[in-house]
């Protein structure tokens, strides 16, 4: 990264250990969503830059895949340390690039980015090789890396999700060509600087910056990349799957969600209320795990609504640098418009907007930023558009349910199946509900508790494949059986 001739910050691709200009000379404007202004430019790397990155990764992969587990783990640990040593700077960069509250980036996301490398550095020590003996042969099953892996990550948790994909791919012995979102490219570029600082061999991690249509598509189509891990919207996931299928690439797709939050009358009300506020509005609702459909047992519906609305009305939306604010800006003007138009649709469908429902103007430095008030809507049927489509903003709907069966029916009546939250003191019921909910992740009496050893992913239109723990290392390797014949 450096300043261009016009003094604008230029965010370049990182290829073979150095930062390069896009071969076509094309740059995209990059905005600070909290102030609504361009503050840098990001390379829109064409297919030829992706070629360069894949060639560098292919060269590097010979040595990288032959390193001992300790040597590879040490490189990952040095990256983790490099992230920690620049944590404050990274958190500020993430806040500026995405509009998210600084405290969220600083306390959760950047520490987790470092932890992703540390975790997989540890986990590879436990990778084992299976052997099956018989009178006619001894079979040894090798788990071999692909050579070069591709990763495509979104803008909502930029460095957190970028590293969540890159770390296991590298740990398993692959070199990587990684594409961050063009809306939030900055911290990935800083990670490139960290790779230089900690002496990661050239070509092991390459970061191609650019749009999905240009750079992302080139990465998906590249014959040198045999496995791709993607997190983003369901529509983009479908496009990627359609490009990858005829090329027989291995895919992991983490897509959207429309997650239910099931609240039974016997729950710990105060804990549920505080957590439900977070699961609704953390990161302005732009987390695939946010619970955007709140389902409440009828007997406590009025009590819940009164208490929840009081919290929502008190919530502070504003400058993400100000620690007193609960919500920052949404990621872009286009995304703000998408959220506001989803709220209009909800009103047209007969929804009652009980809180929010509008953009927020923030005086001072952020007066032109893109903010949306936390919004609560009820009086909508499960089948309406609002309750079916992902909004990915600070917008939740609330619906009453009669009993557990009704709650499960409502929970499952969407095309998605990423996560769910169940609030009840009755653990038998919690287990039955959890077993019957169509989701890859279910929390009982909590939310967003993530143990990196556990599998993470969705069912139905929320994706295919699992990330996390040993599942991630399995994704990034392919099995080869070698039979020593007797």
Catalytic residue numbers, as ranges: 254, 288
Answer for which of 19, 277, 392, 423 binds ligand TXE (CB under 6 A) is 392
The residue range among 119-127, 207-215, 304-312, 314-322 that interacts with ligand TXE, by the rule CB under 6 A, is: 207-215
Q: Note whether 440 binds ligand TXE by CB under 6 A.
A: no
Residue 73 has phi, psi (to 5 degrees) of -60, -40
Tell me the site size for ligand TXE, rule CB under 6 A: 26
- Min dist CB 43 to ligand TXE, Å, is 13
Looking at the Cβ atoms of 158 and 356, the one nearer to ligand TXE is 158
Write out the two tokens for 388: 């079916």
Closer residue to ligand TXE, CB minimum distance, 294 or 395: 395
Interface with ligand TXE, residue 239, by CB under 6 A? yes
159 touches ligand TXE by CB under 6 A: no
Cβ distance 296 to 269 under 8 Å?
Answer: no
DSSP letter string, 279-338: HHHGGGG-STT---EEEEEGGGHHHHHHHHHHHHHH--B--TT-TT-SB---S-HHHHHH
Q: Interface with ligand TXE includes 152 (CB under 6 A)?
A: yes
Binding to ligand TXE (CB under 6 A) within 174-203 occurs at: 179, 181-182
Beta bridge partner(s), residue 254:
231, 463
Q: Per CB under 6 A, does 351 bind ligand TXE? A: no
Among 99, 145, 158, 256, binds ligand TXE (CB under 6 A): 256
Residue 14 touching ligand TXE (CB under 6 A):
no
For residue 105, state whether it binds ligand TXE (rule: CB under 6 A).
no
Residue 46 touching ligand TXE (CB under 6 A): no
9-11 sheet: strands from edge to edge: 2-3, 9-11, 37-43, 27-32
Q: Which of 41, 44, 163, 217 binds ligand TXE (CB under 6 A)?
A: 217
- Are 218 and 152 a contacting pair, CB within 8 Å? no
CB of 287: closest distance to ligand TXE in angstroms?
7
Distance of CA 83 to the CA centre of its chain: 18
209 binds ligand TXE (CB under 6 A): no
Under rule CB under 6 A, residue 255 binds ligand TXE: yes
Residue choice 166, 241, 288, 296 for contact with ligand TXE (CB under 6 A): 288
Which one among 30, 45, 206, 236 touches ligand TXE, defined by CB under 6 A? 236
Among 149, 185, 216, 320, binds ligand TXE (CB under 6 A): 216
Closest CB 236 distance from ligand TXE, rounded Å: 3
**Is 477 in a helix, a strand, or coil?**
strand
- b/e map 185-208, b = 16+ CB within 10 Å: bbbbbbbbebbeebebebbbbbbb
- 337 is a site residue for ligand TXE (CB under 6 A): no
- Nearest Cα to 390, choosing from 461, 321, 448? 461
Q: Which is nearer to ligand TXE, 190 or 300 (CB)?
A: 190
DSSP letter assigned to residue 126: G
Contact with ligand TXE (CB under 6 A) among 50, 220, 253, 296 = 220
Indicate the residue whose CB is closest to ligand TXE.
Answer: 212
Shortest Å distance, C-beta 232 to ligand TXE: 3
Residues near 262 by Cβ (< 8 Å), separated by ≥ 6? Answer: 295, 401, 407, 411, 420, 421, 422, 423, 424, 433
Q: Which of 254, 319, 378, 461 is in the footprint of ligand TXE by CB under 6 A?
A: 254
Maximum distance among all Cα pairs of the chain, rounded to whole angstroms: 79
Question: Does 229 engage in binding with ligand TXE (CB under 6 A)?
Answer: no
Pick the stretch among 29-37, 126-134, 150-158, 313-321 that binds ligand TXE (CB under 6 A).
150-158
Shortest Cβ distance from residue 386 to ligand TXE (Å)?
A: 14
Binders in 70-89 for ligand TXE, by CB under 6 A: none
Selected range binding ligand TXE among 94-102, 235-243, 354-362, 364-372, rule: CB under 6 A: 235-243
Q: Output DSSP code: residue 195.
A: H
Q: Are 75 and 162 in contact (CB under 8 A)?
A: no
DSSP 358-405: SB----GGGTTS--B--EEEES--TTSHHHHS---SSEEEEEEESSHH
Instruction: Report d(CA 420, CA 442) in Å as an integer.
Output: 5
98 sits near ligand TXE (criterion: CB under 6 A): no
Q: Take residue 323 and report the two structure tokens written for it.
A: 């620690």
Query: Contact with ligand TXE (CB under 6 A): which of 71, 213, 341, 426?
Result: 213
Residue (of 214, 223, 250, 275) closest to 471 by Cα position: 250
Q: How many residues does the chain have?
A: 486
Distance between CA atoms of residues 367 and 371, nearest Å: 10
390 near ligand TXE, judged by CB under 6 A = yes
Contact of 205 with 183, CB cutoff 8 Å: no
| Residues forming the site for ligand TXE (CB under 6 A) | 152-156, 179, 181-182, 211-213, 216-217, 220, 231-233, 236, 239-240, 254-256, 288, 390, 392
């Amino acid at each position: 990264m450096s300043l261009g001739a016009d003094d604008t910050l230029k965010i370049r691709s990182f290829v073979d250990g150095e930062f390069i200009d896009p071969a076509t000379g094309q740059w995209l404007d990059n905005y600070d969503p909290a102030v609504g202004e361009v503050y840098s430019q990001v390379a829109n790397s064409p297919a030829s830059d992706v070629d360069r990155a894949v060639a560098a990764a292919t060269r590097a992969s010979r040595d990288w895949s032959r390193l001992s587990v300790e040597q590879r783990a040490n490189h990952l640990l040095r990256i983790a340390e490099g992230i920690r040593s620049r944590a404050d700077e990274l958190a500020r960069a993430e806040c500026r690039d995405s509009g998210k509250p600084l405290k969220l980036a600083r306390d959760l996301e950047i520490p987790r980015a470092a932890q992703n490398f540390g975790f997989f550095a540890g986990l590879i020590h436990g990778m084992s090789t299976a052997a099956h003996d018989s009178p006619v042969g001894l079979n040894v099953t090798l788990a071999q890396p692909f050579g070069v892996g591709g990763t495509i990550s979104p803008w909502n948790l930029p460095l957190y999700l970028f590293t969540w994909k890159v770390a296991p791919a590298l740990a398993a012995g692959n070199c990587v060509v990684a594409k961050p979102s063009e809306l939030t490219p900055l911290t990935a570029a800083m990670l490139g600087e960290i790779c230089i600082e900690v002496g990661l061999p050239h070509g092991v991690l390459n970061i191609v910056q650019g749009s999905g249509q240009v750079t992302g598509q080139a990465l998906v189509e590249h014959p040198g990349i045999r496995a791709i891990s993607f997190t983003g919207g369901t529509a983009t996931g479908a496009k990627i799957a359609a490009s990858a299928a005829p090329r027989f690439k291995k895919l992991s797709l983490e897509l959207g969600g429309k997650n239910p939050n099931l609240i039974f009358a016997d729950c710990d009300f105060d804990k549920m209320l505080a957590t439900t506020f977070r699961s609704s509005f953390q990161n302005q609702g732009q987390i695939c795990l946010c619970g955007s459909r709140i389902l409440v047992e009828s007997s406590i519906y009025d009590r819940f609504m009164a208490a929840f609305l009081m919290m929502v009305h008190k919530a502070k939306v504003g400058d993400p640098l100000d620690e007193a604010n609960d919500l920052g800006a949404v990621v872009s003007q286009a995304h703000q418009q998408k959220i506001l138009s989803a709220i209009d649709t909800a009103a047209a469908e007969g929804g009652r907007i009980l809180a929010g429902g509008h953009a927020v103007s923030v005086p001072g430095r952020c007066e032109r930023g893109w903010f949306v008030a936390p919004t609560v809507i009820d009086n909508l049927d499960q089948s309406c558009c609002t309750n079916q489509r992902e909004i990915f903003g600070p917008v939740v709907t609330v619906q009453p349910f009669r009993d557990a069966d009704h709650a499960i029916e409502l929970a499952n009546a969407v095309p998605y199946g990423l996560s769910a939250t169940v609030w009840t003191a009755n653990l038998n019921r919690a287990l039955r509900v959890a077993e019957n909910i169509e989701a890859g992740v279910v929390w009982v009496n909590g939310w967003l508790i993530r143990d990196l050893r556990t599998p993470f992913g969705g069912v139905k239109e929320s994706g295919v494949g699992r990330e996390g723990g040993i599942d991630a290392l399995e994704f990034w390797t392919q099995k080869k059986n070698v039979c020593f014949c007797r």
